Chains A and B, each alone.
Chain A
Amino acid sequence: SLFRLTVKRLFSTSHSSVDSKEMKKFQLLAHKWWDEEGEYAALHSMNDIRVPFIRDTLLSMSSNYHLGNPLSGIKILDVGCGGGLLSEPLGRLGASVTGIDPVEDNIRTADRHKSFDPVLAKRIQYKCSSLEEIVEESMETFDVIVASEVVEHVADLETFIKCCFQVLKPEGSLFITTINKTQLSYVLGIVVAEKIMGIVPEGTHEWEKFVPPEELERLLESNGFSVKTVSGMLYNPLWGSWSWMESTSLNYAVHAVRSGARAQSHATDTLPETDIQQPSATAGTAG
């Protein structure tokens, strides 16, 4: 009806958060996802900190869970899931995971990899899609969204965040990991990581698109989210392992909670700010 028409028109591809240049980069490496020592080794080892971060945050907000199946009953959307590196551990912990990625080869790799494990095959569903394309059918559907190493690749970050708001249930959680835009992140994240040490395939990142945490926080807070945690992450290339650190000047992780307001069907820039539900101080900190 009118509601659907409005949504469809407003989320046309001209406002898409998917960048076609970025898509091409990942297409070439679609078959390399599951080589633990290959191009994606650093992402594999990032699971050692990002999975416990997500798991423990969700456990601390819940009163009813079993340690043998800690994320049971939780519906998670993994945006930019790639080959499923993060979807699979979350699925093993009991969550129902929907993984979306705009690159078809990634989805194919992810589907094939999960197919050998009947438990995972049931718990995880992959879809070749952008975030906008699923908004209409997934309003307030997910308990959790994870967008790990994704926002530094999107074309329009604010649209992306607005979409997250739409598909999250009220008081749902959003987890983001990304890279800060600093001199240090240029030197270490691009020059050293890509060009010198080959920790990340060359050309993966563009420094211009890195997101400072202040900017991300601002966008989140003004689009219905309350930022709960911001924490720096550090990669040690010698041991191939990640750890938490105070400083967010390189990599960092964010946990934000969506306000309790119902999803609106509009989200364009032209509408005044006041139309979008402001996260009230009490709603944000109630969780």
Chain B
Amino acid sequence: SSAAMAALRGRALLAPLGARLRARARAPLRSAASAPPLYDVVVSGGGMVGSAMAAVLGHDIHFHDKKIALLEAGPRKEYNHMPDSYSNRVSSISPGSATLLSSCGAWDHVCSLRLKPFRRMQVWDACSEAMIVFEKDDLDDMGYIVENDVIMSALTKQLDAVADRVEVFYRSKAVGYTWPLPSHSCDTSPWVQVELADGRRLQTKLLIGADGHKSVVRKEAEIKNIEHQYDQSAVVATLHLSEATDNNVAWQRFLPTGPIALLPLSDTVSSLVWSTSHDHASELLAMDEESFVDSINSAFWSNINHSDFIDTAGAMFRSAISFLKPSGTAVRQLPPSVAKVDPGSRAMFPLGMGHATEYVQHRVALIGDAAHRVHPLAGQGVNLGFGDIACLAHHLSAAAFNGSDLGSLKHLLKFETERQRHNVSLIAATDLLKRLYSTTLAPVVLLRTWGLQATNALPPVK
């Protein structure tokens, strides 16, 4: 029928390009003479993910002659040597992320500033003896705990190295975006218009939104975001241990109120990330330092949430496993005890989860927290963002080498498909874990106890 023919005309049956037309398109008519400067890529948001995106593209050989701009609302952050005290905002960097940072030369700077590799991760339940240990067979580093300031400083250096291609606008907030009309009506500018707070304007062929979970790019592009505020805040602090130790283990215990994690920064210092209810978080911030330290030690050591029933059931299961699979139960290490907290290092921030229904539109791509926001319990947040960068940079590099229009949906959709496939399952699993461990109900505790023990014993599942 002619309707069917019209539907199929010139268009692949399964390609959803047509669905991505925006509701509002207000491209202004501009003569070429007064046109604002045109960039190939503008990255909005100069945090770890935005800066890394700009740095990786700037170091890509196929972007050698391209113009990239990075917009950051804050000031320039650079350290030649770190202050003696540690920052309370740290990230767990996976080996894959370290590889990405290496590819743009930033990892060397991180290593020369400071970082702490860890070999082992011990995760256990507050309501039972169930425990799971992650470590690599070959005693390689599982990951690295790095202060966010260190990563930023390293990226700033690498952005300087490609200053001929990447122009960084510090203290520059983007206040408005104007989207182009669909490409075939070519009387108006086909580029995205960006307006800065100080009135300056830029044009770009591709806008990358790396502006965090409250992304303005995402809002202005009218991309729907599935979000959920957890009834939890994370309390962070810098802690000094009672005694020096190798400190190459990351500890996490699931309390009914939320997971508490101790991430190693040095032989004597660790970083705290304690996700708990808003009220409890406020209490923790308000209490004196001694009580705060006591709460932390109690959270890691106390067995108050154990019940005889669960302990017995757990022990039975454990002996069953050790009978069937002798190597399946790991030796339980004891977490370090905390002696004091760095004054002024306590802070809290609310937690939530979020996922954008689309990561891309014509001439727009979202990466990092702008696209997806997770609970810190899995330590994955920034690693997902770095994974987005690796994928998007790969597709943009190929597109540049093909002479393609960088803002074309064709390759942007490939990025979206790859990353959504990867991210959605991880975000869902993280959310599920959070809910699973938020209860003291015996049946659920038993299930997760057995589940955790079984997972610990079975390498493929693990």
B residues bordering A, Cβ < 8 Å? 5-6, 8-15, 17-18, 32, 35, 38, 61-65, 182-184, 186-187, 189-191, 400-405, 408-410
Contacts and interface: CB of A to CB of B under 8 A. Distances in A.
Contacts of B182: 35
12 contacts: A34-B183, A36-B408, A36-B409, A37-B10, A37-B15, A39-B9, A40-B10, A41-B11, A51-B403, A88-B403, A116-B189, A200-B10
Contacts of A67: 61-62, 64, 401
B276 to A, nearest CB: 49
Contacts of A31: 184
A38 B10 contact: yes
Nearest to B10: A41
A52 B62 CA distance: 14
B13 A115 contact: no
Given A37-B17, A197-B8, A68 B62 contact: yes
Contacts of B410: 36, 45
Interface of chain B, main secondary structure? loop
A31 B142 CA distance: 57
Nearest to A42: B10
A69 B403 contact: no
A197 B4 CA distance: 9
Interface stretch (A5-13, A153-161, A233-241, A277-285): A233-241
Contacts of A66: 64
A152 B404 CA distance: 26
Nearest to B411: A48
Contacts of A45: 12, 410
Given A67-B64, A68-B63, A240 B12 contact: yes
A89 B62 CA distance: 14
B11 A68 contact: no
A214 interface: no
Interface of A: 31-42, 45, 47-48, 51-52, 55, 66-70, 88-94, 109, 112-113, 115-118, 196-201, 237-241
A68 B61 contact: yes
B278 to A, nearest CB: 48
Contacts of B191: 116
Contacts of A52: 402
Nearest to A43: B10
A35 B183 contact: yes
A45 B413 CA distance: 14
A37 B190 contact: no
B65 A68 contact: yes
B13 to A, nearest CB: 5
Given A116-B32, A238-B13, A238-B14, A48 B184 contact: no
Most buried by A among B6, B186, B191, B409: B186
A92 B64 CA distance: 12
Contact of B186 (A69, A109, A237): A109
Nearest to B40: A119
Contact of A34 (B17, B64, B184): B184
Most buried by A among B9, B17, B183, B184: B184
A201 B48 CA distance: 49
B407 to A, nearest CB: 11
A93 B403 contact: yes
A190 to B, nearest CB: 15
Contacts of A34: 183-184, 186
A68 B184 contact: no
A68 B68 CA distance: 14
B65 A69 contact: yes
B64 A68 contact: yes
Nearest to B165: A68
Contacts of A55: 401-403
Given A67-B64, A68-B61, A69-B65, A51 B402 contact: yes
Given A36-B408, A39-B9, A113 B186 contact: yes
B11 A37 contact: yes
Nearest to A67: B61
Contacts of B402: 47-48, 51-52, 55, 89
B134 to A, nearest CB: 40
Given A37-B10, A41-B10, A47-B404, 14 more contacts: A34-B183, A35-B183, A35-B184, A36-B408, A37-B17, A39-B10, A45-B12, A55-B403, A68-B61, A88-B405, A89-B402, A116-B32, A239-B12, A239-B15
Most buried by B among A42, A66, A90, A198: A198
B62 A198 contact: no
Contacts of A91: 403
B64 A69 contact: yes
